[in-house]
Chains A and B, each alone.
Chain A
């Protein structure tokens, strides 16, 4: 289960700077740990986070093993027009998840 917790204001004034808060459930296994038998535990992290606003990319982040488990990322964007904000997370072992929210701009 890839569960995300996303907070995007449903309404904003045109030109207003809004903050988008995101939490994605993922253990972010670093690849630097060993199991009890001494075998290295392979890396399994989210590597990329992308936000689009009506299809246009507004923010992107490359994540490394030093990002804490259940990655938390916040960023801002200018509310330009009503529409859809889509967030996508991608990572090791084919991890892919996305969330959408609509925003009304007045």
Chain B
């Protein structure tokens, strides 16, 4: 990046920072807008055609893993869950879910790992590993077009905790997520349109990454962007943010595996 572009980016951030009022309401449902709608036609085309969408490479891997006998139990996901097209239809759209056994929220990735440990006698998979992305992409595909609907009664506390983080000013730039994604969406930041920051396409293929990535990877990027202290994958903070974002996007269609710039 040239110093000039860098300065432009910084100036953009500071303008946003200085033009901000206080805390606000949650994004109203009738204003919800997917980042897809702000993407250039070429990027949309990449998401629309399965033959052109690189995210489908992970889906194919996920399908193979779904059928593979794994762990010392030598069981495949499919041995218990059958055809994912039926058993997993709409499942990803209601994650994070409340896990009664653990008495707290569990993400889709966490749920996959729980099945690996408890039902396959296998090791957990790391966030952003090819296998975990592949399985989560395969499952999320079974929710494509389904409305996001998480259990707001059971997850009330987690949603509230996520909302607090979303609204809290943080980092060296002293910005909150809400300042950009609730109050300035549609605006421009160094040539990019600020989106509403919805989680409806994950895991997704980000052109910047040149690979598939989880929602938590994206959240960590945004925390880096405002130069705030980052949280570990699977941490309470990121799970809370993820849960709040899914609640905030309730009713929106899942697009996984989406493509984003």
Contacts and interface: CB of A to CB of B under 8 A. Distances in A.
Q: Do chains A and B touch in the complex (CB under 8 A)?
A: yes
Interface of A: 1, 3-5, 7, 21, 23, 25, 27-28, 68-70, 72
B57 interface: yes
Nearest to A7: B51
A5 B53 CA distance: 9
Contacts, number: 34
Contact of B57 (A7, A25, A68): A25
Interface of B: 50-52, 54, 56-57, 60-61, 130, 210-211
A27 B130 CA distance: 12
Contact of A23 (B57, B61, B130, B211): B57
Contacts of B51: 5, 7, 21, 23
A3 B56 CA distance: 10
B258 to A, nearest CB: 15
Contacts of A68: 210
Contacts of A28: 210
Contacts of B50: 5
A72 B52 CA distance: 8
Contacts of A69: 54, 210-211
A42 to B, nearest CB: 17
Interface majority SS (helix, strand, loop, mixed), chain B:
mixed
Contacts of A3: 57, 60-61
Which of A1, A4, A27 has its CB near the most chain B CB atoms (within 10 A)?
A1
Contacts of B52: 21, 23, 72
B217 to A, nearest CB: 16
A35 B57 CA distance: 26
A23 B210 contact: no
Which of B52, B57, B130 has its CB near the most chain A CB atoms (within 10 A)?
B57
A5 B137 CA distance: 15
Nearest to A1: B61
Contacts of B57: 3-5, 23, 25, 70
B67 to A, nearest CB: 14
